[in-house]
Chain A
Amino acid sequence: MNWFTRVRNSLPFVAKRSTEETLWVKCPGCSEMLFTREYEENLRVCPRCGHHGRIGADERLRQLLDEGYEVLPQPEVAEDPLKFRDSKKYTDRLKQARAKNPHRDAFTVGSGAIEGHPAVVGVQDFGFMGGSMGMAVGTAFCQGAQRALTRKCAYIVATAAGGARMQEGILSLMQMPKATVMTRRLKEAGLPYIVLLTDPTTGGVTASYAMLGDVHIAEPGALIGFAGQRVIQDTIREKLPEGFQRAEYLHKHGMVDMVVGRHELRGTLASLLDYLQPRAAA
């Protein structure tokens, strides 16, 4: 193995794509072909239809935090305690996901500031096994909260999950109360906890830390819900209402405070943090 292949293999998340594919990207919203570089420079928001594309943890942290933030190492948790196997072994699925992602699981924490306001930001990455919540995600969420408690600053979490990490069975379900222990501690410490709901946020994540914020912000068009749309459709056997479980729909039904486009997120968070200042211990 020569030096180059070694390096390339150690950077497995650098996809080998043809120039053609790298140059252009198709908008998932309006199918328009966009220049990749321009799309990325526009924070992966389609300039034509405003569709907000999904972004990874590192990109999200870069977009939200001031330069010079620290990325916390992801926690080591018991791996595959159930020895789970469907058509594939869970350990193989993990290996596969890690080969395509710079992180070892779906939740990454950055500690820094947003326009000068001290903040810890946790980001759930849909790109890693659908952002599914298992022990690594739950534990990383808790470590982010713990860092905010130590720094006595705000905790902001960008949620994204297709569901639970079924391969961890009940242990994944137990992450719901576990994360809730920490949101309670933030509340007791008088620290702000802000949730940024991104596409998609569903299942147990929605029914725990995604719905317990002091302020809920949703990205435009984000799918947010508890039950899956197909499950609901099979239950009621009717057509779902227009825009059902989308960010704007949740705003209308009182579940989120505001729908904010990606370009305004940093500024919005900074203004909120200005109001939600931790009170000095009495």
Chain B
Amino acid sequence: MISYLEFEKPVAQLEARIAELRSAAEGDDVDISAELRRLERKSADLLASTYAALTPWQKTQVARHPARPHFRDLVHHAFDEFIPLGGDRYYGEDEAILGGFARLGGRRVMLIGHEKGNDTESRLRHNFGMGKPEGYRKAIRLMEMAGRFGLPVVTLVDTSGAFPGVEAEERGQAEAIARSTEACLALPVPMVATIVGEGGSGGAVALASAERVLMFEHAIYSVISPEGCASILWRTAEKAPDAAEAMKVTAQHLEKLGVIDRIVPEPVGGAHRDPATAAGSLAQAIGEELDALAGRSADELRRAREERFLRIGGA
């Protein structure tokens, strides 16, 4: 069952009406197929037009949709194999950030990303996708290994931000994020990052400092959450829709600003309506990007990565 967002109410009503007609028609002689077809077309059109004109705040809702496919869902649909690797070798295993060897088409890669979880139990286990220092240090370990074995690095970014907690601070959350960003920039192998849901601040950058940065059509990427920005600048979190608008958090805006390179299309109505199709588009896009980067030297790759960030604001 789909859980509808506030702005999807008209679609929800139509879809409910369709379901009602369908069940009423069962075992009945009255032919309602014409009416059903009319309603279905209307509903599909409405969904398409709604999603073609989402506001930044509405996209924020879609990016955070509880049924949105997360790391494990995308890996399941898009990759042929995933061998998870655990632990940072210093402190522990952080399941907010998953990583390991993976196969995409015929390509062997190192796959790393945030996992938010899909139900209460898994959300707690994955800490809602909020990484701790050990998670970022595991990412560093895997990136360094990828560099040594010539495996391209693919990341799927989906976090509201790094975990804000006493112990995370004590173990060096800031240092871990800084080092993870540094590890991205140092990679001698291709790196392709995709913001698949929420790209929240430093916790996202730590896995997204790549030479090719992709974004799902309805994902968001921002320096602070719209709520956080609103509560500081507008002095109330209720102004989050305004903050989302002002900060230009959408893939469409960020492509214009030159911060991302490519938008990966989502099925009509968002990735949560059809995770398999969404994952298919993702696999296609990442595969093409990896193929385009194949054969480049370590220096070329690092130079390209450096240039994309140095040019922002000039240097």
Contacts and interface: CB of A to CB of B under 8 A. Distances in A.
Contacts of A173: 201-202, 205, 222-223
Contacts of A138: 312-313
A204 interface: yes
Contact of A254 (B172, B202, B254, B257): B172
Could you tell me the dominant secondary structure of chain B's interface residues? helix
Nearest to B224: A166
A232 B165 CA distance: 5
How many chain B residues sit at the interface, stated as a range, is 35 or more
Contacts of B63: none
A170 B309 contact: no
A174 interface: yes
A225 interface: yes
B27 interface: no
Contacts of A232: 164-166, 169
A142 B312 CA distance: 12
B314 to A, nearest CB: 6
Contact of B179 (A139, A163, A212, A236): A212
Interface residues of A, number: 62
B252 to A, nearest CB: 13
Contacts of B186: 184
A227 B181 CA distance: 17
A177 B257 CA distance: 16
A211 B173 CA distance: 10
B259 A177 contact: no
A85 B173 CA distance: 31
Nearest to B173: A226
Interface string A72-97: 00011110011011110000000000
A210 B314 CA distance: 21
A258 interface: no
A244 B173 contact: no
Contacts of A181: 185, 306, 309-310
Interface stretch (B4-12, B142-150, B228-236, B268-276): B228-236
Contact of A170 (B228, B254, B315): B254
B224 A177 contact: no
B174 A210 contact: yes
A255 B172 contact: yes
Nearest to B202: A207
Interface in B38-67: none
A245 B170 CA distance: 8
Contacts of A76: 314
A33 to B, nearest CB: 32
A166 B233 contact: yes
Most chain-A CB neighbours within 10 Å: which of B162, B164, B173, B306? B164
Contacts of B229: 166
B172 to A, nearest CB: 5
A153 interface: no
23 contacts: A77-B314, A84-B247, A86-B243, A87-B233, A134-B313, A163-B232, A164-B201, A168-B223, A173-B202, A176-B178, A176-B205, A177-B185, A178-B310, A180-B178, A180-B209, A181-B185, A204-B201, A227-B162, A227-B169, A231-B164, A232-B164, A253-B170, A255-B175
